Each structure stands twice: as structure tokens, then as C-alpha cells.
Amino acid sequence: MSISQAHGGHYYLPKPSPYPALMSTALLLLGAGGALAVNGYVLPAGWLAGAGGLLVVYVLSGWVGDVIRENRRGVYGEKEGVSFRWGMGWFIASEVIFFSSLFGVLFYERNIAVPWLASLNSHYSPWAGFKAVWPTSGPAGAAFTPEHAWGIPALNTLILLSSGVTVTWGLQQITKGHRRAATWAVGATILLGGVFLALQCREFYLAYTELHLTLGSGVYGATFFILTGFHGLHVTIGMIMLSVIFGRCLKGHFGPDNHFGFEAVSWYWHFVDVVWLMLFIFVYWL
């Protein structure tokens, strides 16, 4: 095959690396810390999770740094590039499926569980006056105001969609070799993502303080917060990736035929984008 011949027929195999084992140690610390924390053992949990968190940061910078250095040394040929692309593609597929299962939860609670509960003999109702409506009124009928689509959420849709445009434009500039323009585009994307996150925090804050919509507000509150919360988490992860890409753009790492890192992050950002669109339609709007 011509591809493998270009690199002397060798597929690049990385040297032994301490980072994978360190990363799992970090996750063990975080897991044990998390399990202790939710049971009220805050002090030991804090130490464990703190150490785990620091280790995660250390490992991520070391591991990603190794990959970037290898890339700079030019050890990745076309064949390695194909592996990375397939890998990122399947990773995003698994993320899509994760969100699908959360949307499945929303569908189940809203269209199956609530009507079913409402169809029972009223003696078995969760609370007096329970009706098959969405949003449900909350446990024991505690009052809250449901989210409204055409305020912050609509604005956020606009912001996130335009950030999808800027990152795509940046990728196009890189393939044409316009590094400065691409750097600006990534910067703009980060800015838009930051505004999105800030507005999302504001929205959560308003939900708790003014709408009295909390995690405990029945299945409406639960599904609302798990879907938007996990999306927000993924935006944050995307922001970290974009920051790395921004730094690499500044250093001039990317060129017309070496920009997989950029491409992968743009894929991820589009995924986050599309999930938000679904959220806007099914959580806020309908």
C-alpha cells in the first residue's frame, strides 16, 4: 500500500507511557472521593478527590503534550491519521448514544410514566390533583415556573450556532493556509462558548432563585437539569479542547495538511451544537 510505504511500512507505535495508569489512579481517587463525599465524609473525600483532580490535570497535560510532540516530530503518517479520525468518529458516536439515552429518559418520563401514573386510581396518585400534564407540577404539588424557550435559551441557540460557523470557517482557513484568520476564528469560538456558558449559569441561577425550579422539582426538574447539565459539561470539555487548539494555532502548529487536532475539535464542537439544538426543541420549546 502506498500509504504505509510512505513511512517505510511502519505504523507508529508509541513508547511505554506512564500516563494511562496514572489516569486510572486519578479516576480511582475521584471515584472513591465522590462515593465518600455523597455519604457525608467530606474531609477524606476532599483529600482524595483533590489529589485525583490534580493528577487528572497533570496527566492530561503530559499525555496531550506527548501527542503534540510526536505530531511535531512528524511520526504520524496518513495511516495514523486515519486511525485518529476513526477513533474520534466512534468516540463522538458513543457520546451521541449517551445523549440519546438521556433523551430517551425524557421521552419515557413525559410520554409514558406521567400519563401512566395519572391513569391510576386516584388513591394511588403521587399527590392530590396529579394530572398527566407536562411539566408536572413537582413533588407534592410544590409550585415552580417551567422554563421558557424564548428568552435566554433562544439567545443561546443563536450564540452556539454562530460558534459552529466560526469554527468551521476557521477550519477552512487552515486548509487554505491562512493561519492568522484561523487563530482569530478559534478565539471567536471560545468567546462565544464562554458567553454561552455564562448565560447558562445565569439561567440555572434564575431557575433556582426565581422560578423555584430545582433538581427536586419532580421529573420535569430532574430531566431538565440532567440534560442541560450534561450538555453544559460537554461545552466545558469542548472549551478546554478549543483552548488547546488556540494555543497550537498561536504557535503555528497547523497547516493545510496537518490539522487533525483542529478538525477533531471542530467535529466535537458540532456535536455539542447539534445536541443543544435537540435540547432547545425537546426540553425548552415543545
Partner 1 sequence: MSTVDIDAMEEQHHPRGITRWLYTTNHKDIGILYIAFGFLMFIVGGILAMLIRAELMEPGMKVMGPELYNQIISVHGLVMVFAALMPVSAGMVNYLIPMMIGAPDMALPRLNNFSFWLLPPAAILLVLPWLLEFFGIGNGTLDTGWTMYAPLSVQSGPGMDFAIFAVLLLFLSSTLASINILVTVLNLRAPGMTWDKIPIFVWSWVNTAVLLIVVFPALAGAAIMLLLDRHFGTHFFSAAGGGDPLLWVHMFWFFGHPEVYILLLPTAGILVHILSTFARKPVYGYKAQVYSFAAITMISVIVWAHHMYTSGLPTAANIYFMFSTMAISIPVGILFICWFGTIWKGSMTFETPMLFALGYIVLFGIGGLTGLILSDAAADQQYHGAYFVIAHFHYTLIGGPVMGVLAASYYYLPKLTGRMYDETLGKWHFWLTMIGFNVTFFPQFLLGIDGMPRRIADYAVKFAPLNMASSIGAFVLGAAQLIFLYNVYRTLVGAGKPATGRVWDGAQGLEFTLPSPPPYHTFEVPPTV
| Interface positions, 155-184, toward partner 1 (CB under 8 A) | none
Say if CB 26 and CB 55 are below 8 A apart: yes
User: How many residues touch partner 1 (CB under 8 A)?
Assistant: 71
Exactly one of 62, 64, 77, 79 binds partner 1 (CB under 8 A); that residue is: 79
Least Å distance, CB 16 to partner 1, is 4
Count other Cβ atoms within 10 Å, centred on residue 22: 16
23 or 192, CB closer to partner 1? 23
Which part of the chain contacts partner 1 (CB under 8 A), choosing from 2-10, 154-162, 185-193, 264-272? 2-10
Binders in 21-50 for partner 1, by CB under 8 A: 21, 23-25, 27-28, 31-32, 34-36, 38-39, 41
Which among 271, 273, 268, 265 has a CA at the least distance from the CA of 245? Answer: 265
Phi and psi angles of residue 162, each rounded to the nearest 5 degrees, phi first: -70, -30
CA 47 to chain centre: 26
Which part of the chain contacts partner 1 (CB under 8 A), choosing from 136-144, 192-200, 238-246, 272-280? 136-144
Angle 131-132-136 (CA atoms, 0-180°, nearest 5)? 75
Exactly one of 42, 93, 201, 277 binds partner 1 (CB under 8 A); that residue is: 93
Q: Does 136 bind partner 1 (CB under 8 A)?
A: yes
Compute the CA torsion angle 182, 275, 204, 245 (nearest 10 deg): -20
118 or 165, CB closer to partner 1? 118
Grid cell listed for 5: 510505504
Least Å distance, CB 253 to partner 1, is 20
Name the 3-class secondary structure at 255.
Answer: strand
Residue 19, class by beta-carbon neighbours within 10 Å (0-12 exposed, 13-18 middle, 19+ buried)? middle
Exactly one of 51, 56, 117, 239 binds partner 1 (CB under 8 A); that residue is: 117
Binders in 203-242 for partner 1, by CB under 8 A: 214-223, 225-226
Q: Does 86 bind partner 1 (CB under 8 A)?
A: yes
Residue 79, class by beta-carbon neighbours within 10 Å (0-12 exposed, 13-18 middle, 19+ buried)? middle
Q: Does 62 bind partner 1 (CB under 8 A)?
A: no
Least Å distance, CB 254 to partner 1, is 21
As a whole number of angstroms, the distance between CA 128 and CA 33 comes to 40
27 or 211, CB closer to partner 1? 27
Least Å distance, CB 187 to partner 1, is 30
As a whole number of angstroms, the distance between CA 286 and CA 277 comes to 12
Least Å distance, CB 109 to partner 1, is 6
Exactly one of 62, 109, 244, 267 binds partner 1 (CB under 8 A); that residue is: 109
